[in-house]
Structure 1
Amino acid sequence: MADYTLERKDSFTVTGIGVELKSDYTDFAGINEEKAAFWQTISEDGKLENLKKLASNDYIFAVNEAVNNKMMHYAGVMTDTSVPEASRVIQFPEGEYLVVKGKAATADELHTTLTGITFGQVLPEAKDFAYVGGPNTTVEMGHQNGLVFGEMWIPVVRK
């Protein structure tokens, strides 16, 4: 099984710019293409850079959340500032989180790899805890030795 930890986290809020994902939730290739296109668009139009300027830390969040029966994906930051173009303020609950660490050549590769490990390996093999929904996120935490490093955070409950 992949390396992971369970960590207790205080509740936190991420302010994000989002997009509805139209692919079926089992179409991982389609979902990944939609996410990559979204990140490319907000990088090119300056929205991601504007969001980063308002952040209270260096973390960039890629959040997945079901909202009104729609699969949503957000680029977000922690901030105390109002973000005019933000489409959602996402509340993460206090509690235990599954944390999977990783590094990759690009932020997109980091998100894809961590999501695959978490949902493809760790959660299916977990015996003592389960993901029961709610927002989940990959967190881009920085760069080191030419690689992007970060973590995936998923709220879980003990079985």
Structure 2
Amino acid sequence: MANYTIEEKDGFTVLGIGTELKSDYTDFAGINKEKSDFWQAVKQDGGLDALKAVATNSYIFAVNEAFNNKMMHYAGVMTEETLPEATRVIQFPKGEYLVVKGEANTSEELSNMLTGIAFGEALGEISDFAYVGGPNASVEMGEQGGLLFGEMWIPLVKK
């Protein structure tokens, strides 16, 4: 049984720099490689640092969203500001969210683990709510005891 909670969250905005994922949605190895390459690039080209400079907190968001019939992935931060290099302002709705908590050695491990638990286990165990699309995010929240910790946030609707 997956370790998760369902929590009420206020709506919030994430400013993101994104990329279109070209792998088939069932090709997890391909998707993970594309995400890994994207994060490496956004760290090297200064995009992530630019986002962090306008963030309202220290959280780093890895957002997945179907947008204009494309599977998109974003590096983002919570902010009300904009940047020229940003590709999208992502609105997360007020409401109930599936929240999966975890910790790992790296950002990539944390995101992959949280996503796997949320979509591979937790969503299948919930009977009162459903995920009907919209943006979802793994949120890197900090470091403790040498490990990164964070949460996966998936918006839900009552069945």
TM-score band w.r.t. shorter chain: over 0.9
Supply the distance in 1 between the matched residues of 2:53 and 2:148 (Cα, whole angstroms): 19
Greater mean alpha carbon deviation, residues 121-130 or residues 108-117: 121-130
Q: Is residue 147 of structure 1 aligned with residue 147 of structure 2?
A: yes
Supply the distance in 1 between the matched residues of 2:111 and 2:57 (Cα, whole angstroms): 19
Superposed CA offset, 1:98-118 (max 9, x none): 000000000110000000000
Which residue of 2 is the match for residue 121 of structure 1? 121
1:1-159 to structure 2, matched below 5 A, reads 1-159=1-159
Segments of 5+ residues of structure 2 without an aligned counterpart are: none
Superposed CA offset, 1:102-151 (max 9, x none): 00000110000000000001112322211010000000000111111000
Task: Report the number of matched residues.
Answer: 159
Supply the distance in 2 between the matched residues of 1:120 and 1:103 (Cα, whole angstroms): 17
Residue 94 of structure 1: how far off its partner (Å)? 0.7
- Whether the 8 Å contact between 2:13 and 2:80 is mirrored in structure 1 is no
Supply the distance in 1 between the matched residues of 2:112 and 2:71 (Cα, whole angstroms): 16
Segments of 5+ residues of structure 1 without an aligned counterpart are: none
TM-score by length of 2: 0.98
What is the alpha-carbon root mean square deviation over aligned residues? 0.8
TM-score by length of 1: 0.98
Q: Secondary structure at the match of 1:121?
A: helix
